[in-house]
């Protein structure tokens, strides 16, 4: 019998996992254990600190409900979600619109709207219009592409954060016309602090971070034969445009609403024009499936 020390325990763990039949699971868990152990050795983690970590992760798990996904929030504030997106974009090459965070507020089964309608059913604020095209990798319009949109209201809250989270608002699905064009109305979203009443908020406060995300509108865009696009547009004039707590902003996704914009279906309203470009189907989807907080609570496969 070998007595395990802080180095040999890593070898012993990897040896026990070496018979994993799924090669990708083996590869991922092998790397996870090596990096987890290297982390613990680097900081010389004490039992009391380890226990604080166990308590923190347990609290994160218990904060996850059908209307809230605290682990995705943790991934977001640690930069992991943004990193996964960046690698996903890099694999797809340069031809598609950059992705941005799905975030914890996506919901499947958002209501369908006709082009031109407003997603602000129960909320009021400064009216805006968004319009443009969904294009393929060669720059041609993608007929009837599906465009899902969700955002905060003028108070910086998603419907999931309101008193009746079952009721949907400030989200909807549109189908582009035969040339790939879309337009819809909404109200100006407001930037917001990530939820600060849970364990992730506690961490962000202990790190003296402001906790704000700049105002943005989420998009999930798809069409058969194209890679699904998860992205967001960020409003340039938000005070936190350069310091997003979850690292979702990139220059190409920053927009500035303006009046009298050429081509706007409603030039009397603050208008944003944005053309989205879909990549060809590449490495197995966007990761969207099941990210609805109410769906992620199923047991892991």
Please give the residues from 83 up to 142 whose contact with its own copies meets the rule CB under 8 A.
83-88, 90-91
Exposed / middle / buried, residue 46 (Cβ in 10 Å: 0-12, 13-18, 19+): exposed
Between 178 and 299, name the residue whose CB sits nearer to its own copies: 299
Asked if 281 touches its own copies (CB under 8 A), the answer is no
Interface pick for its own copies out of 23, 66, 67, 80 (rule CB under 8 A): 80
Residues 222-241 contacting its own copies, CB under 8 A: 230, 241
Q: How far is CA 222 from the centre of its chain?
A: 16
CA distance 159 to 243: 25
CA distance 234 to 66: 27
Q: Kindly determine how many residues on this chain lie close enough to bind its own copies according to the rule CB under 8 A.
A: 103
Interface pick for its own copies out of 112, 252, 263, 267 (rule CB under 8 A): 252
Q: Give least dist CB 218 to its own copies, A.
A: 15
Asked if 256 touches its own copies (CB under 8 A), the answer is no
Interface pick for its own copies out of 21, 23, 224, 225 (rule CB under 8 A): 21
Asked if 16 touches its own copies (CB under 8 A), the answer is yes
Residues 172-231 contacting its own copies, CB under 8 A: 199, 202-203, 206-209, 230
Binding segment for its own copies (CB under 8 A), chosen from 6-14, 122-130, 166-174, 266-274, is: 6-14
> What is the b/e burial string over 236-251, where b = at least 16 CB atoms within 10 angstroms of the residue's CB?
eebebbeebbbbbbbe
CA distances from 272 to 104, 132, 165, 181, 258 (A): 25, 8, 29, 14, 7
Interface pick for its own copies out of 112, 167, 179, 243 (rule CB under 8 A): 243
* DSSP structural state of residue 182: E
**Residue in the structure block whose two tokens are 């960020």:** 234
């Amino acid at each position: 019998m070998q007595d395990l020390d802080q180095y040999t325990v890593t070898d012993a763990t990897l040896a026990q996992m070496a018979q994993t039949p799924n090669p990708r699971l083996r590869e991922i868990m092998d790397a996870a254990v090596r990096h987890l152990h290297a982390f613990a050795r680097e900081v010389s983690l004490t039992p009391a600190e380890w226990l604080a970590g166990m308590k923190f992760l347990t609290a994160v798990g218990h904060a996850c409900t059908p209307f809230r996904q605290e682990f995705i929030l943790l991934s977001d504030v640690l930069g992991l979600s943004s990193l996964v997106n960046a690698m996903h974009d890099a694999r797809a090459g340069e031809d598609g619109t950059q992705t941005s965070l799905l975030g914890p507020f996506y919901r499947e089964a958002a209501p369908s709207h006709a082009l031109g309608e407003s997603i602000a059913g129960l909320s009021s604020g400064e009216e805006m219009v968004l319009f443009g095209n969904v294009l393929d990798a060669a720059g041609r319009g993608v007929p009837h592409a599906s465009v899902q949109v969700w955002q905060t209201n003028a108070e910086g809250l998603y419907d999931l954060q309101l008193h009746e989270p079952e009721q949907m608002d400030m989200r909807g699905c549109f189908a582009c016309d035969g040339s790939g064009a879309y337009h819809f109305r909404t109200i100006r979203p407001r930037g917001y602090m990530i939820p600060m009443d849970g364990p992730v908020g506690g961490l962000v406060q202990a790190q003296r971070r402001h906790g704000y995300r700049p105002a943005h509108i989420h998009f999930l865009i798809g069409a058969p034969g194209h890679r699904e696009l998860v992205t967001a547009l960020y409003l340039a004039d938000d005070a936190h445009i350069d310091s997003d707590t979850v690292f979702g902003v990139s220059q190409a996704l920053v927009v500035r609403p303006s009046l009298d914009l050429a081509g706007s279906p409603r030039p009397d309203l603050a208008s944003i024009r944005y053309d989205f470009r879909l990549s060809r189907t590449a490495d197995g989807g966007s990761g969207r499936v099941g990210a609805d907080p109410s769906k992620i609570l199923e047991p892991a496969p």
